Amino acid sequence: MADSRERPSSTPHLVSARRITPSLILSALAGVFAIAIVASAAIRAPALDWSTFRQYLFSSTVRKGAANTVLLTILCEALAIASGAVVAALLMGSNAVGRIVGHTYQWTFRSVPELAQLLFWFNLALVFPQFKIGIPFGGPSLWATNMNTVMTPWTAAILGIGLHEGAYLAEVFRSGFLSVDRVQIDAARALGLPRRKLVVDIIFPQAMRVIAPNAGSRLIGTLKLTALASVLAVPELLYSVQSIYSRTFETIPLLLVATAWYMLMVGVLRLLQHWLERRYEMPQGAAVDVVGAEALA
Amino acid sequence: MLRMQALAAVAATAVGCLALVGCGSENRSPTGTPAAQDERLHDLLPAEIRKRGTIRVATDMGYAPFEYFSANQQPVGLDVDLMRALEPILGVRFAISDTTYAGIIPALEAKRYDVGWSAIVIASLGGTGAVDFLVYIDPSLDSVLVASSNTSIRKSLDLCGKTFAFLQAEKSVSTDEASALCRKAGKPAIKWKFFQKTPDVILAVESGQVDARVAYVVNGTYYVKASKGKLKLVQGVLPRSPLTMGVAVPVDQKGLEAALRGGLQRLIANGTYARILKRYGATPVGVRRITIRQ
């Protein structure tokens, strides 16, 4: 019982990998050969133009673009986490109206193509020329301004990407909480654990085990979605290389420059995700406690 | 009191200069001689623009040599030079925002910008009734841009069945006429593929995803040079068609239109216009008088 509940450890197959077998040698040779073919072709291909790649890799325009991509990703993800948490709470709540609202939100934001959403937000002034705070249904407004002064390219990008991503994150959060065994919640209640302790000590750490890998891969997705903001002329990484190749037409080398930066950023995010997963890994012996708690219930 | 006002004005100018890149050089015409502000033209500008001190311009920045980013990320090009030359005359600055070509007129209708200045071909973006155009460049579409290795286009009928790359919202009388000739000869018409930005168009021609791109003297020469031998121009195969270009001004902005027209007319009269066009190899496509078209 205890064994079947223990999280499969990642060490066993590492041990077997240390043994040098003929198949390992063969696959290593095949790997080196494949890399050599691709690398030599890439180095010799004139269209790739590595001198242009080196020229722009650390240019100030590209570095500024990369910094803006990081900033945009953080802002979008913050909005995504906030809206995702609200929607997940609505979906899991007992209020039927709340559930309908949650489902409608997800349906809307997952249906509209991401690019179309960005263009919609950016051109919102066509539909609503004024941004008003006040009494609805034609009532007096406390504060009003031109929609275009509020809906800057940055605002449109953050809303378009953040709200869209929130619809997906809601699902990640929901699956995390659903993965926690009901029995444990009942057990904790039977033990008289206060509600706050139940959420923080029992539900959250276990839910995070499911949430962390999924949310991590969504975050990587968000990072790359920010490239869409280039159509709104937000000076992020892709836009910064576009602004260079619209003058020089060295399109492929500059797209490779952007790719190199995205790979670096995704690499860092992967480390972050790994750290998060390790943090919420079930400690040794915890499974026994859990089973103990279940037995009590 | 007067002294206080003067101090405030100096401070405001200093702050303005800090916020704008290259403030010192902007107040001069491209020839280096400071042009005097024309009070009559300045007063024609809508009060909102005079108060703001800037005309907000929608420009598709990826259209070299008319508008593109310099190596240090400043907007440059033929159109940008004309705007910079107008600044001291009108006494306001042009604040350029990057848009897509197809997005210029919708953005003007949404009042996001005051004018659209982006080598706009009236035949493609005009006819909506929402904007007037100040005609300032009048080229003819007459050449075909192809990859250097492409030897399949030698005469007009070779264009039949070929795929051409266009920017979204572009139209082309030349290829329509060529297609009509093809059909008459019992051959397939020219096929169209649309892209968002000019570099996408050029890359598609270079990589062979499309066969060709329509061109004229100013942009064609630039592409061939920038491609470092990957592209070439083929002349004499495409029927000529006018490619009249204008600055888009919303129809309800007659004051702004009159001010811009008067300013451009001044640039023609004092020779600045001719100097700017010469700089970009655009001398043959210049106009003698700024006219208005819908």
- pLDDT, position A126: 77
Same fold, B17-139+245-293 and B140-242: yes
pLDDT for B174 beyond 90: yes
How many domains does one find in chain A?
A: 1
Res B71: pLDDT:
87
* Residue range B140-242 in CATH 3.40.190.10: yes
Mean pLDDT score across all residues of chain A? 86
Instruction: Over range A206-233, report the average pLDDT.
Output: 93
Average pLDDT over residues A94-109: 95
- Measure A263 CA to nearest chain B CA, in Å: 23
What is the number of helices (H) and of strands (E) in chain A? Answer: 15, 2
Q: Is the pLDDT of residue B24 over 90?
A: no
Asked if residue A277 lies in contact with residue A213, where contact means CB atoms within 8 angstroms, the answer is yes
Q: Would residue A50 count as lying in a domain? A: no
User: Which helix or strand (DSSP H or E) is residue B67 part of?
Assistant: none
CA distance A52 to chain B (A): 13
The pLDDT value given to residue A200: 87
Q: What CATH architecture applies to the domain B17-139+245-293?
A: 3-Layer(aba) Sandwich (3.40)
Which residues, listed in sequence order, are joined to residue B197 by a DSSP beta bridge?
Answer: none
List, in order, residues 6 or more apart from B294 with CB less than 8 Å away: B126, B127, B129, B131, B132, B133
Q: Is A120 on the interface with B (CB under 8 A)?
A: no
Q: How far is A115 from chain B (nearest CA, A)?
A: 13
- In this prediction, residues B16-27 reach a mean pLDDT of 35
What are the sequence ranges of the domains in chain B? 17-139+245-293, 140-242
Cα separation, A120 vs B290, in Å, equals 36
Q: pLDDT value at position B156?
A: 93
| Whether A245 contacts chain B with CB within 8 A | yes
The pTM assigned to this predicted structure is 0.77
DSSP single-letter state for residue B30: T
Q: How confident is the model at residue A155 (pLDDT cuts 50, 70, 90)?
A: very high
Kindly indicate the confidence band of residue A132, based on its pLDDT and cuts at 50, 70 and 90. confident
pLDDT value at position A16? 52
Please state, in angstroms and rounded to a whole number, the distance separating the CA atoms of residues B244 and A70: 43
* Residue B171: C-alpha distances to residues A235, B24, B52, B178 (Å): 29, 41, 36, 13
Write out chain B residues lying below 8 Å of A251, CB-based: 199, 202-203
Q: Does A143 touch chain B (CB under 8 A)?
A: no
B103-106 CB contacts, 8 Å cutoff, 24+ apart:
B103/B58, B104/B58, B104/B59, B104/B60, B104/B248, B105/B130, B105/B131, B105/B248, B106/A123, B106/A126
CB–CB contact B99 A233 (8 Å): yes
What is the per-residue pLDDT for A20?
Answer: 83
Q: Give B196→chain A minimum CA distance, Å.
A: 9
Closest residue to B100, CB basis, from A125, A146, A231:
A231
Q: A255-275, pLDDT tens digit by residue?
A: 999 999 999 999 999 999 999
Distance, in Å, from the CA atom of A224 to the CA atom of B201, rounded to the nearest integer, reads: 23
Q: CA of B75: which chain A residue's CA is closest?
A: A243
pLDDT in tens, B78-106: 999 999 999 999 999 999 999 888 889 98
> Which of B63, B67, B73, B225 should be substituted to probe chain A, the one whose Cβ sees the most A Cβ atoms within 10 Å?
B73
So what's the pLDDT on residue B65? 94
Mean local confidence (pLDDT), A57-84: 97
In this prediction, residue A289 has a pLDDT band, given cuts at 50, 70 and 90, of low
Which of the four pLDDT bands, split at 50, 70 and 90, describes residue A287? low
Least confident segment among A44-58, A235-249, B28-42, B234-248: B28-42
A81: containing domain: 59-131+144-296
User: Which among A59, A247, A250, A254 is the top mutation candidate for probing chain B, defined by the most B β-carbons within 10 Å of its own β-carbon?
Assistant: A247
Q: What is the ipTM of this complex?
A: 0.70
Nearest CA-CA distance, residue B69 and chain A, Å = 6
The closest CB to that of A247, out of B64, B99, B227, belongs to: B64
In this prediction, residue A285 carries a pLDDT of 53
Q: What are the tokens at B203?
A: 């890359």
Model confidence band, residue B25 (pLDDT cutoffs 50, 70, 90): very low
CB pair distance less than 8 Å for A246 and B73: no
Q: What is the pLDDT, as a whole number, of residue B207?
A: 87
Local confidence band at A148 (pLDDT 50, 70, 90 cut-offs): confident
Residue B257: the pLDDT is 97
Condensed to tens digits (0 to 9), the pLDDT of residues B261-277 reads 999 999 999 999 999 99
Which of B63, B100, B203 is the closest to A251 by Cβ? Answer: B203
The Cβ-side half-sphere exposure at B74, using a 13 Å CA radius, reads: 12
Asked, for residue A6, whether it belongs to a domain, the answer is: no
**β B245-250/B115-121 pair status:** antiparallel
Closest Cα in chain B to A235: B98
Interchain CB distance below 8 Å, B202 and A251: yes
- Output the domain CATH number for residue A221: 1.10.3720.10
Asked if B218 contacts B281 with a C-beta cutoff of 8 angstroms, the reply is: yes
Over 80: is that where the pLDDT of B206 sits? yes
Q: What is the pLDDT of residue A217?
A: 92
Tell me if B226 and A231 make a contact (CB, 8 A cut-off).
Answer: no
Whether chain B has a CB inside 8 Å of the CB on A61: the answer is yes
